[in-house]
Structure 1
Amino acid sequence: MSGSELSGGLRHGAVQPDATSQEIYDAGMAVRREVLGGAHVDRANAAKDGFTEDFQDMITRIAWGGIWTRPGLSRPMRSAVTITAMVAHGHWEELAMHLRAAITNGLSRDEIKEILLQTAIYCGVPSANTAFKTAQQVFHEMDAATDTSQPKTTPTPPN
């Protein structure tokens, strides 16, 4: 990225000086859907009520529109940072969601394994142990979903 791009609006992602709140929200929702999947976002939006609506709006605008749209880090790098934060703070349900997102964002299972090994040193072995169990379960679920979506064929017996 050139210096002129950094001095212009590109360094801010969706949060441009003249961006409306709606534009930031829309950009955040687009990234949120791309990263987490439409089904997950639809479930989160369907579950919101008067108590949680402001929170859902905030994470869409600030986390997804304000941070995930910025060009300074790739999505795989953002996923790596997010995985580490989830492990560090013991947010296991969020970790599971972001492990799926990391695969969507282009991280391989081997790269995720390396991230989790790194967390063992900096976040603690007990946290990494739970993270590995969580990843193992997520990958098993992903594999099972892939296997059930494949048409079952009966092998032809040899002649």
Structure 2
Amino acid sequence: MATRRSVLGDAHVDRAVARTTAFTSGFQDFITRYAWGEIWTRPGLSRETRRCLTLTAMIATGRHDEFALHVRAGLQDGLTPEVIEEVLLQSAVYCGVPAANTAFGIADRIIAEETGSAG
């Protein structure tokens, strides 16, 4: 849970935990143990690299809400708008221009909200 909070921020995790129901509790337990306890804590990649890979995966699969979540969390954890821009340009080549176009719009909005200026 500490890694989950560190990667996503306390506010997001608190909201997710508060929304947990009997039906979703198994998934919340799974995601906390597997994604945050096993994958994000492995020593083989830096936190920044994991964030960049996650952004690319969200772009490639059209997971716009999760993409926005990870842009915001990345900015709050030190990922710069310049790094995000590079990830999106790389994704334009490998995930497609329409997917990257959507991602640029989402990221620009999040960067403006988090930094007070457009990305």
State the partner residue of 2:17. 45
2: CA distance between counterparts of 1:40 and 1:87?
Answer: 20
Distance apart, 1:128 and its partner CA: 0.1
Report the residue type matching 1:120 in the other structure: A
Q: Percent of pairs identical after alignment?
A: 57
Point out the structure with the larger helix share: 2
Matched, 1:35 2:32: no
Q: Is the 8 A contact 2:48 2:79 kept in 1?
A: yes
1: CA distance between counterparts of 2:16 and 2:26?
Answer: 13
Matched, 1:120 2:92: yes
Report the residue type matching 1:95 in the other structure: F
Q: Is the 8 A contact 1:96 1:138 kept in 2?
A: yes
Higher mean alpha-carbon deviation, 94-103 vs 110-119, is at 94-103
Distance apart, 1:104 and its partner CA: 3.2
Using the size of structure 1 for normalisation, the TM-score is 0.70
Instruction: Report runs of 4+ in structure 1 exceeding 6 Å deviation.
Output: none
State the partner residue of 1:71. 43
Using the size of structure 2 for normalisation, the TM-score is 0.93
Matched, 1:54 2:17: no
Report the residue type matching 2:2 in the other structure: A
1: CA distance between counterparts of 2:73 and 2:110?
Answer: 11
- Per-residue CA deviations over 1:84-103 (Å, capped at 9, x if unaligned) read 00000000000001111222
Report the residue type matching 2:84 in the other structure: I
- 5+ unaligned residues in a row in structure 2: which ranges? none
Higher mean alpha-carbon deviation, 106-115 vs 73-82, is at 106-115
Q: Is the 8 A contact 1:92 1:131 kept in 2?
A: yes
Q: CA RMSD in A?
A: 1.0
Q: Quick check: which has more Rg, 1 or 2? A: 1
2: CA distance between counterparts of 1:61 and 1:40?
Answer: 17
